[in-house]
Structure formats: C-alpha cells, structure tokens
Chains A and B, each alone.
Chain A
Amino acid sequence: MSIGHTLLGLLESGPRHGYDLKRAFDEKFGHDRPVHYGQIYSTMSRLLKNGLVEVDGVESGSGPERKRYAITKAGITDVGQWLAQPEKPDPYLQSTLYTKVVLALLTGRSAVELLDTQRSEHLRMMRILTDRKRQGDIADQLICDHALFHLEADLRWLELTAARLDRLAQEVSA
C-alpha cells in the first residue's frame, strides 16, 4: 500500500498536523498495524520535496509534528491518478484496494468506477491465465488455476464491496 498517497488523500479534505495525520490514518486504515510517527515524517518530507504538499503553518514548540501540511494542486492530481490506476492483480492487495475505496469515498470520487476499473483489470489477467492454461500442459494448468482461484476471490470481494458501498460511505463520513 502506498502510504504517501494515503496521507495525501487524507489531506485533501483540509490541512492537518503530523500528529493529526497519524490519528486519522490509524483510525481509518491502521486496524491491525498503526503507522509510526517516523514513517509519517519521512513520508511528509518526501512529499514536501516533490511539491505534493506544502507547509501551511507551524505551531510553537519543536519537532516536525508541529508542522501543519496542506496538499498542493499537484498533490491532488497525484491522488486522482493513483485512484484511477487499477492495481496489478497480485495476491494480498486487499489493504491497498480497501484504502483506495475509502479514500475515493472521502474525497468525493467515484468508488463504483474504481471498483469497475479494478474488476476489468482482474478479468484481463484472468483471461491471459485462462489462455495460457488452454495451451499449456498439466503443470501450466495447475499453476494457472491456483492464480485464477486467488483472482476470483479478489473479484468476489470487489463485487461484495460494490454492493455495500452505501453503508461504507455512511460509516466513512461519520
């Protein structure tokens, strides 16, 4: 999962301090593994350097958590591109997809479109594997089948998520 894009997405609704970013991240995405402060600071300094965020104000005191960050125009474009780009259908990308869906809902982008784009990317990969299976020997068939069953599981999750978007949207905005 791209922590940079996730933090940028969280900044889209308004400027936040470092500690506020950590709190929002943990609350929305950190269910089983909260993010470290160190990761936030290193990510923010990279985003600053790349012009995707800017410092909007500094509280008195010391330490990087006192800085207030705001997303730039380039940052908004970057989030939009990330959300529009389907993920390569690899196993274990559920947390990335979940993050993307939540951020799309948070930032008023179309989560349905995101899910549809990802579905067709998954099916594209499944077609390639199915084709390879048709032409291959038994070993190819078994290897492709394994990948196909995993992709199918992802697709079922995409379908179920699409069916529950209204509820997720309510919870996310609450």
Chain B
Amino acid sequence: MSTQDTTLTGSLLSAHELRKSFGPTPALDGASFSIRPGEVVAIMGPSGSGKSTLLHCLAGIVPPDSGTITYSGRHLTALSDAERSALRRNDFGFVFQFGQLVPELSCVENVALPLRLAGIKRKDAHRAAQKWLERLEVSDVGHKRPGEVSGGQGQRVAVARALVGSPRVVFADEPTGALDSYNGERVMQLLTDAARESQAAVVLVTHEARVAAYSDREIVVRDGQVRDAAVAV
C-alpha cells in the first residue's frame, strides 16, 4: 500500500487539464479534478459527456493525451505500465455497471481474488472475503457463481471485491445503473458506509441525482469539461 504523503492541497488524487480524444471530437477537453482522502465525490453529467473517460484516466486505465494526474504525490502518467498495474491492484478498487465478476469463479472466490493476487493464502483470503460478503448482506451467495445471483446481489459482491483489499480509492462507474431504486440505494448506502469506515475515497460516476446524494460533493462534466469553477484545480 502506498504510504506517501498527500500533496500540499490535501488532495489524494488530482488531475489537471486532462485532454483525451478517441476521434475528431474530444472526450475530455481540459478537465480538472481533485479528491481528498476518504472523500466521496460524484461525477455527474449527461450521457457521453466524458464521465467514464475521466474515471478511466484517473484510475490509470486510459492514458490522457495531455494533462497531469497526481496520486499521493506521484505523477501517474510518469509511471511504467507495471507500476501502474501494481498501483491499481494495491491502492484502487473498482465497481462497474456490469460484467466485472469472473463467471467461472464462485462469489466468495471473486471477492477473495484481489487478496490472492496480492499473495495472501487461500484460507485467509476466503475468510476475509466471507466477512465482506456478510457486511454487504450477501453471506449466503458465497458458493454461487455470478450467473446464479440477482443483479442486486451481484453488485454487492462486486462492492465487497472492490473493498476487500483496503483500497485508498474506490472507482465506481454507474454502480447502480442496472438496479431498481431499492437495490440501487441499498448498494449506495453499503458502499459509502463501508468506504467511510475504511477511509477510502470514492470516485462515483452517476447521472442519477438520488445516487449522487450519497456523495460529499459533486462535479458536473459537460462536453469533456468540468463545469464547477469552484472545484476546478
């Protein structure tokens, strides 16, 4: 786990003037962002405005064409691929809208996977995974495959997997997008409660206001730009 100090501004992860194009029109057009340790920030905006691209850049999944990303005092863009992968494995957790669990593994094995990859013994990893499943109110699905559980249960398993390695940042892209409002809210509540307790920051992409209301603050992306001048770094 990273132990380096945060930058002077107190931000854990920040991005300055990110630009990224996939074709002629930019997906990100000078977007800036900053999050403090333990903070929950919602990234809102219309569909296609660049929310997911911003999240992917912040998480080191997609390299920006230009701009800087600083995590815990280090320039993400200056790291090697191997260093970035290690960072994603050790410091970050991920929750997406669908298709993130490995279909061949049981739910408890899915949750244990990040710990196994970090070299933790199978028995210990499974014990920790089972504890997280309990915490997310799905202790009874551990032995099932992802294909055999409901959407709401699957997202809880995914949240458990994102949090099991004690990440410092959880990236969640429309984590409730495929759920009904009851399950969506329950997942948000469990995710933000667990993140707050373990002091993990959450970068939450959503276009739904009721989901964003679980955050500490929001930013709005329009046409690849962050609109709120107050939070632009």
Contact = CB atoms under 8 A, between A and B. Distances in A.
Contacts, number: 34
Contacts of A129: 213
B101 to A, nearest CB: 27
Given A120-B218, A159-B46, A163-B46, A126 B209 contact: yes
A152 B184 CA distance: 15
Contacts of A134: 189
Question: Size band of the A side of the interface?
Answer: 10 to 19
B214 A130 contact: yes
B210 interface: yes
A56 interface: no
Contact of A155 (B189, B209, B227): B209
Contacts of A163: 46
A116 B214 contact: no
B213 A148 contact: yes
B210 A148 contact: yes
Given A116-B228, A159-B46, A163-B46, A151 B218 contact: no
Contacts of A126: 209-210, 212-213
B176 to A, nearest CB: 13
B220 interface: yes
B212 A123 contact: yes
Interface residues of B, number: 13
Given A123-B218, A130-B214, A152 B227 contact: no
Interface string B190-233: 00000000000000000011101111001010000001100000
Contacts of B46: 159, 163
Interface of A: 112, 116, 119-120, 122-123, 126-127, 129-130, 134, 148-149, 151-152, 155-156, 159, 163
Given A130-B210, A151-B209, 17 more contacts: A112-B227, A116-B228, A119-B220, A120-B218, A120-B228, A123-B212, A123-B213, A123-B218, A126-B210, A126-B212, A126-B213, A148-B210, A148-B213, A149-B210, A156-B209, A159-B46, A163-B46
20 contacts: A116-B220, A116-B228, A122-B209, A123-B218, A126-B209, A126-B210, A126-B213, A127-B213, A127-B215, A129-B213, A130-B214, A148-B210, A148-B213, A149-B210, A152-B208, A152-B209, A152-B210, A156-B209, A159-B46, A163-B46
